[in-house]
A = this chain, B = another copy of it.
Amino acid sequence: MDNIVFDFDYAKACVTSNEIKKIGSQLIPEIENIKKSLPSGYETDYASVHVLSDDHMLESVTYLVNKKKKLHISTLVVIGIGGSNLGTIAIHKALHGDFHNKKNPDVKIYFADTVDADYLSDVMYLVEKELCSGENVLINVVTKSGTTTETIANFEIFLNLLKKYKTEKYNDYIVATTDKDSPLWDYAKKHAIDCLEIPKKVGGRYSVFSPVGLFPLGFLGVDIKNLLAGARSILQDCLDEHIKKNPAMVSAAINYIHYKQGANVHDIFVFSKYLRSFGQWCRQLVGESVGKKFDREGKEVAVGVTPTVSVGTVDLHSVAQLYLGGPQDKFTTFVSVTPKAEIFLPKIDAFEKFVENIQGKSVSFIMDSIIGGVKAAYASDKRPFVSVHIPGVEEIYLGQLMQWKMLEIMYLGYLLHVNPFDQPQVELYKKETRKLLEK
């Protein structure tokens, strides 16, 4: 099997091999911890790793995908927010792009996440148009706790809409993905709604390869077996104690070194419009996992890398001036991909003087030249970076990419001595919100 290609050139990353060895060795106990946890299945904080080889889980997902397919669904509405849809969107967009719904697919998809009346009104209009014209719509409501404000609000709204058109068997057109015994789980069971379980210890931002991501993706025709196979294949590497063989160990160490040296911003710079959502998924993973007020001993530390997402070449016309001229406060991971399509420019002599050397060339050649140009400019100005290349828009590579990133961030959390699996600070605004909702 081919692999995604990691280019961790130490000179370009502005680190030394000795530094990496030293920091990497600090990770050995954590690798041991994860390995030891494997036989315990879903019992430990590393439960998300276990999900990759849970055949029973995959069977339940596949069973429900097939069952719901028989209902001749035209449109899937995924209701969920944050960890409940970012991974799904990342993979869907990477594979199907921005125009999936326009290209006459078997199944259209809409995401209802926040409580934005104008957005919601648009999605409701489009979904109702389907129902109105006799098409069938499937709702997949995803919330780990079963009590996420936005998700419950959206679920009630779409449940109402669904019931208007499917008076009797509306429950056939819903799948609930949630923790066992959450209020939503109980509600679903009571109303004969099909459920998929999110294992308790699989946190939202690590749940893309659980039913959270696999059900909607599987329903859209994504090869979820290959996604998992990709994730499993890189997991082996990322649990290797030899630093030269372990890409998560190296990238975590490089991240850590730059954060400690004052780079508080980590830019995920993807050179593909359809990987923007992968960047957004990374943003949650980094932000929630290593942005912490307290360390593992409860000492106030206020650490955290601020994740940013740039999309090339668009954002070269937006932030390159800053990134190449401003303060040395960033570390960058470039992500590039070999596209599916091949497009050639025509040869038009008149245009040769506009931009030299592009006549008749392929669009990808121009893209690659710009990526190369950017990396050379970063290197010559000692702006630290690493690179990852995806050799094709395929499930197997996306599985590798995302599983590597999850391991990297667990390791970074370990190095920063914080818990990468909790998010206690979000309670601050939720508490204040509850007060206002009472009014």
Are the CB atoms of A328 and B302 closer together than 8 Å? Answer: yes
Q: Flag the segment in A43-51, A211-219, A358-366 that touches B.
A: A358-366
Interface residue tally on A, bucketed by range = 35 or more
Contacts of A377 in B (CB 8 A): 428-429, 431-432
Bound-state Cα–Cα, A364 to B121, Å = 12
Does A288 count as interface, using CB distance less than 8 angstroms? yes
* Contact assessment for B287 and A304 in the assembled complex, using a CB-CB cutoff below 8 Å: no
Contact of A118 with B by CB under 8 A? yes
Contact B157 A354 (CB under 8 A): no
Which of A12-20, A33-41, A64-72, A311-319 lies at the interface with chain B?
Answer: A311-319
A348 to chain B: closest residue by CB: B156
**A321 on interface, CB distance cutoff 8 Å:** yes
- Is A303 at the interface (CB under 8 A from chain B)? yes
Instruction: List the number of copies, as a whole number.
Output: 2
Q: Does A355 contact B (CB under 8 A)?
A: yes
Q: A44-84, CB under 8 A of B: which get 1 and which 0?
A: 00000000000000000000000000000000000001110
A8 at the A/B interface (Cβ < 8 Å)?
no
The segment from A97-105, A165-173, A233-241, A401-409 found at the interface with B is A97-105
Question: Does A341 touch B at the CB level, under 8 Å?
Answer: yes
Contact with B along A281-300 (1 / 0, CB 8 A): 00110111011111000000
Shortest C-beta distance, A288 to chain B (Å), equals: 4
Give CA–CA (A292, B350) in the complex, Å: 36
Instruction: Please tell me which stretch of A131-139, A142-150, A247-255 contacts chain B, meaning at least 4 of its Cβ atoms lie within 8 angstroms of it.
Output: A142-150
User: What residues on B are CB-neighbors of A146 within 8 Å?
Assistant: 354
Give the secondary structure class of A's interface. Answer: helix
Residue A117 is within 8 A (CB to CB) of chain B in the complex: yes
Chain B residue, CB-CB nearest to A118? B339
Q: How far is the CA of A41 from the CA of B276 in the complex (A)?
A: 40
Selected contact of A381 from candidates B150, B304, B428, CB within 8 Å: B428
Q: A291-B326, A313-B115, A364-B117 are in contact. Are A423 and B321 (CB under 8 A)?
A: yes
Stretch at the interface among A24-32, A223-231, A367-375: A367-375
A125 touches which of B103, B147, B284 (Cβ 8 Å): B103
List chain A positions with a Cβ less than 8 A from chain B: 81-83, 86, 97-99, 101-103, 113-126, 146-150, 152-153, 156-157, 159-160, 183-184, 187, 204, 264-265, 271-274, 280, 283-284, 286-288, 290-294, 302-304, 306-308, 311-330, 339-343, 345-346, 348, 350-351, 353-358, 361-364, 366-370, 372-374, 376-377, 380-381, 393, 423-426, 428-439
What are the 8 A-B residue pairs with the smallest beta carbon separation, nearest first? Answer: A82-B317, A291-B322, A304-B326, A373-B433, A121-B341, A325-B425, A373-B432, A293-B325
- Give 16 new A-B contacts, CB below 8 A, not counting A103-B122, A117-B342, A292-B325: A82-B318, A115-B367, A116-B363, A117-B364, A120-B343, A121-B340, A124-B343, A152-B358, A160-B346, A204-B317, A291-B325, A304-B325, A368-B436, A372-B432, A373-B429, A373-B436
